[in-house]
């Protein structure tokens, strides 16, 4: 089976999210599955800041966030960028899944947008504030500067329109239909529009990705991690969306949601006898392609659904692994 088309990818995402809710009751809370969220937390803080030029490696990020120690000889600003992003990310996941949030029928408020930016940018701002910022343009406050068009052509709105444009943007987020088949492309349009508004003098890329995940988790989807190796693809997709074609960005977001569903969520909350997609059962020893081949040959007990996707259980994969070793293959 080759790489799915965009339509097939969107359909698969829709089916998998419905299955997550029907079989597992939705995303686990941080209290129920702290290891899941910790793994996402580390990787998101590392890769999202790396896209903006941060040079800490994942191990340095893990030590910084777990132990509060800065290892290596990087500039203090880089450690504070990761610290701030992690603080904001932790707030996003806790707030998104909280049953006691003040506006339970609203996906996102402008106050929350400003809070995400404040949390993400305060630590780095304390050691390296933006050189052109006024006293009114600090973390959590809208810019009062015009921003020149970016190299790719994107032109941020005038600063005098930021507050009204962001209010309209939040209204569009709150009207988003979570279970529509074109959800990934609508999400891509909204993500691109936030970057076009560019409401803050600095930190808009990080804030935009944090808000993207706040929206996703509140709507019952796993968060997105844009890996640093995907930086050029991500920026190219943003430029395409800026020109009116959100398809490429929608596809990138859909693949990331599915990847995180299979990698973090399903393996941790599905029991050993539950049928799950093969991608959720893969590891370094048995990758998804090898499991698919074994399923097609009848060596791995599995079933193929109407969506064309193979599913098996952890128990059946363990049995196949043991028989494989007995055969010496």
Burial of 8 (0-12, 13-18, 19+ CB in 10 A): middle
Q: Are 116 and 166 in contact (CB under 8 A)?
A: no
Q: Please list the pLDDT of the chain residue by residue as tens digits (329 residues).
A: 567 889 999 999 998 898 888 767 788 777 666 777 888 989 999 999 999 999 999 999 999 988 888 998 899 999 999 999 999 999 998 888 877 777 778 999 999 999 999 999 999 999 999 999 999 999 999 999 999 888 777 889 999 999 999 999 999 999 999 889 999 999 999 999 999 999 999 999 999 999 999 999 999 999 999 999 999 999 999 999 999 999 999 999 999 999 999 888 877 666 666 677 888 788 878 888 899 999 999 899 888 876 677 888 888 888 898 887 766 55
Q: In angstroms, what is the C-alpha Rg of the chain?
A: 21
Q: What confidence tens digit (pLDDT) does each residue in 32-83 have?
A: 667 778 889 899 999 999 999 999 999 999 999 888 889 988 999 999 999 9
Half-sphere exposure at residue 253, Cβ-oriented, CA atoms within 13 angstroms: 27
Give the C-alpha separation, 14 to 22, whole Å.
Answer: 12
pTM (2 decimals)? 0.83
């Amino acid at each position: 089976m080759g790489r799915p088309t965009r339509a097939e990818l969107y359909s698969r995402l829709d089916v998998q999210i419905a299955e997550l809710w029907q079989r597992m009751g939705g995303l686990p809370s941080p209290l129920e599955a702290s290891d899941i969220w910790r793994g996402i937390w580390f990787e998101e803080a590392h890769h999202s800041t790396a896209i903006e030029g941060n040079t800490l490696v994942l191990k340095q990020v893990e030590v910084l966030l777990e132990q509060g120690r800065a290892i290596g000889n990087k500039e203090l600003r880089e450690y504070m960028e990761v610290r701030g992003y992690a603080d904001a990310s932790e707030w996003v996941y806790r707030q998104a899944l909280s049953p006691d949030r003040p506006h339970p029928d609203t996906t996102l408020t402008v106050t929350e947008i400003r809070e995400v930016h404040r949390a993400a940018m305060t630590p780095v701002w304390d050691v390296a504030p933006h050189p052109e910022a006024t006293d009114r343009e600090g973390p959590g406050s809208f810019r009062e500067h015009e921003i020149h068009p970016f190299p790719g052509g994107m032109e941020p709105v005038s600063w005098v329109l930021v507050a009204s444009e962001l209010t309209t943007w939040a209204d569009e987020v709150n009207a988003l239909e979570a279970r529509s088949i074109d959800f990934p492309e609508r999400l891509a349009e909204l993500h691109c529009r936030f970057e076009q508004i560019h409401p803050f003098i600095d930190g808009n890329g990080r804030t935009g990705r944090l808000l993207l995940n706040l929206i996703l988790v509140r709507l019952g989807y796993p968060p997105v991690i844009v890996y640093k190796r995907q930086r050029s693809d991500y920026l190219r997709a943003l430029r395409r969306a800026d020109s009116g074609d959100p398809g490429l960005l929608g596809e990138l977001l859909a693949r990331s949601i599915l990847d995180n569903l299979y990698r973090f969520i399903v393996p941790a909350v599905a029991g050993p006898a539950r049928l799950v997609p093969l991608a959720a059962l893969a590891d370094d020893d048995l990758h998804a392609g090898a499991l698919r081949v074994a399923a097609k040959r009848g060596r791995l007990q599995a079933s193929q659904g109407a969506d064309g996707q193979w599913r098996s259980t952890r128990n059946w994969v363990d049995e196949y692994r043991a028989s494989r070793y007995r055969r010496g293959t």
